[in-house]
Structure 1
Amino acid sequence: MLVLAIDTSGKIGTVAIFDSKEGTLCEITVKVKKNHSDTIMETIDSLFKFSEYTLDNVELIAVTTGPGSFTGIRIGMATAKGIAIAKKIPIVGINTLEALAYGVSNTDKTIISFIDAKKERVYYGVFKYINGKLQLIEEYSDSHIDNILDRYKYDKIIFTGDGAFAYKDKITSIMGENGYFNNISSINLRGSCVAEAGMYKNIDNVYTLEPFYISKTQAEQNKVDKTINNDEGELKI
């Protein structure tokens, strides 16, 4: 199966072409200066030029749905859904935290993905490999990082994501030898991890697929909708 992966959930955008048998065939990561809408289609075009594949070869589109930058997620999802509809390609939405966890190889340790929400708060997901398959073992949430570390300080944990490196000193101080860090490349999400996660998901309805929100009431979401023109990266969901 050939998968096109798209992630615009942060300031670093990534796209990839991934084959279920051969792995990553081509991957591009770009730091955007202003807005993903200025670069996403050009980046996808370059991806196919470099790989010598076309959209006609793609059998699945995997796109991150959040948490992350509100504007960035909307851009990535609109792009992915537009391609899926135009080319009649199945689509799956992938939680950003899960995709980050796929960057950690099969291990008996618990994996915690952190996305920095600023002021020592993080969005997080807790995972374990069970019988070789990555499983979410605690519902996605957000919290002050101290609360999470206090709960898991006696477990052996591999931390990944930009939040892990933003608060590396604090994690090391509290976790001691029980805290491990994925490699430095895991700060930013890789398109290949989005694609790999997508292969294990049920197909979504392209017309009803929506961004993933953590702990947001309708009133809060209405406020977000009114501030969609804020600078990308300042407003997260």
Structure 2
Amino acid sequence: MLVLAIDTSTKIGSVSLYDDKIGVIGELNLYIKVNHSAVIMNMIDNLFKMTKLSIKDVDRVAVSVGPGSFTGIRIGVAVAKGLCYGTKKSIVGINELDLLVQNIEAGEGIVIPLLDARKERVYYSIYEKKEGFKRVTEYKDGELKTLLEEVKDKKVIFCGDGATVYEKVIKDSMGENAIIISKGNSIPRSVLAAQLAVEMEEENLYTLEPFYVNKSQAEREKEEREAKEKNSK
């Protein structure tokens, strides 16, 4: 099975081609300074050119559905669905947190991927790693300090941009109990989504939607302003 994978949930745009028998065919990762919409199709086109393949060769499209950047998620899902509409390829949505934990190869124990939701809020879920990963909580959007209070007496591996952005906060709270995976090993790689997609059930193209977990920062700030204005009257 040849899988085209797309991830635009963070500032790192990632596209890849993965064959379940051969392995990685090609992968492009790019820090996006502008909107993902300006570059993601060019990345896909360049990937096909470099590998001398096309969308016709692809069996399945995998896309990160979030959580993460609201705009980025919408763009990635729209591009993936657009590719599948015209070509009748199967599609699979991958949760970004499920994808991030795949970066952790060695060791066992508790792993918590963190995505920065700003103002010391994070998207996260808690996983237990033995032979594989088992998610033991729901996908959540919460205050980092609340999460750290919950796990401070345990040995925890943290990964994702939330782990590196808030490294000092985590270390101050947990000390040696916290292992922070470096930036280079914490980026979301679409090829990991492709590997997961091989084993997953095909999803309905028409009902696949972004997974936001909670409201965006802009929406939260708007509600806070409106509440303050209401209380001041």
| Structure 1 counterpart of 2:172 | 173
Other-structure match for 1:190: 189
- Please give the per-residue CA displacement for 1:78-100, whole angstroms capped at 9, x wherever unaligned: 11011112111110111111111
d(CA) in 1 for partners of 2:19, 2:134: 22
CA deviation profile, 1:194-215 (whole Å, cap 9, x unmatched): 2122223221101110111213
Aligned partner of residue 75 in structure 1, secondary structure: helix
Which whole-Å deviations, capped at 9, do the CAs of 1:58-104 have from their partners, x for residues lacking one? Answer: 11111011111222111111110111121111101111111111111
Q: Quick one: which amino acid aligns to residue 200 of structure 1?
A: E
* Percent sequence identity over aligned pairs: 43
Q: Aligned partners of 2:166 and 2:185: how far apart in 1?
A: 14
Equivalent position of 1:52 in the other structure:
52
- Helix, strand or coil for the counterpart of 2:82? helix
Per-residue deviation at 1:216?
4.5
Q: Report which stretch shifted further, 28-37 or 61-70.
A: 28-37
SS in 1 for 2:126: strand
Distance in 2, Cα, partners of 1:43 & 1:177:
40
Number of residue pairs aligned between Structure 1 and Structure 2: 220
Q: Could you say which residue in structure 1 is the equivalent of 2:4?
A: 4
Residue 226 of structure 2 aligns with which residue? none
Partner residue, 1:148: 147
* Aligned-partner Cα distance in 2 for 1:171–1:121: 12
Partner of 1:201: 200
Structure 1 segment 94-109 matched on structure 2, within 5 A: 94-105=94-105, 107-109=107-109
Given residue 109 of structure 2, which amino acid in structure 1 is its aligned partner? Answer: K
Partners of 1:197 and 1:91 lie apart in 2 by 12
* Distance change in 2, residues 1:194/1:169 (3 Å): same
Distance 2:59 2:132 in 1: 22
Alpha-carbon deviation of 1:161? Answer: 0.5
4+ long deviations beyond 6 Å:
none
Corresponding residue of 1:114 = 114
How far 1:23 moved relative to its partner?
2.6
Q: 1:129 to 1:59 in 2, by over 3 A?
A: farther
Higher RCO by CA contacts (8 Å cutoff, separation 6 or greater)? 1
Q: How far apart are 1:38 and its partner, in Å?
A: 1.2
Q: Extract unaligned runs of 5+ from structure 2.
A: 224-233
TM-score in terms of structure 2 length: 0.87
Q: Tell me the equivalent position of 1:235.
A: none
SS in 1 for 2:138: strand
- Aligned twin of 2:63: 63
The 3-state SS of whatever aligns with 1:68 is coil
Matched residues in 2 for 1:216 and 1:37: separation?
22
Q: Is the 8 A contact 2:16 2:27 kept in 1?
A: yes
Please state which structure has a larger fraction of its residues in helix: 2
**What per-residue deviation string (whole Å, max 9, x for no partner) do you get for residues 90-139 of structure 1?**
10111111111111115322110100111111110111235x33221110
Q: In the alignment, residue 199 of structure 1 is paired with which amino acid?
A: V
Cα distance, 1:107–1:203 mapped onto 2, change above 3 Å? farther
Give unpaired runs (5+ residues) of structure 1.
225-237
CA offsets, 1:18-62, max 9 Å, x none?
122333221101222321111111100111111222222211111
**For 1:160-218, what per-residue CA distance to the aligned partner results, in whole angstroms no more than 9, with x for missing partners?**
1000001111212222222112232134311112212222322110111011121359x
Secondary structure (helix, strand or coil) at the match of 2:77 reads: helix
TM-score (structure 1 length as normaliser): 0.86
The CA RMSD measured in Å over matched residues stands at: 2.1
Counterpart-to-counterpart distance in 2, 1:164 and 1:28: 23
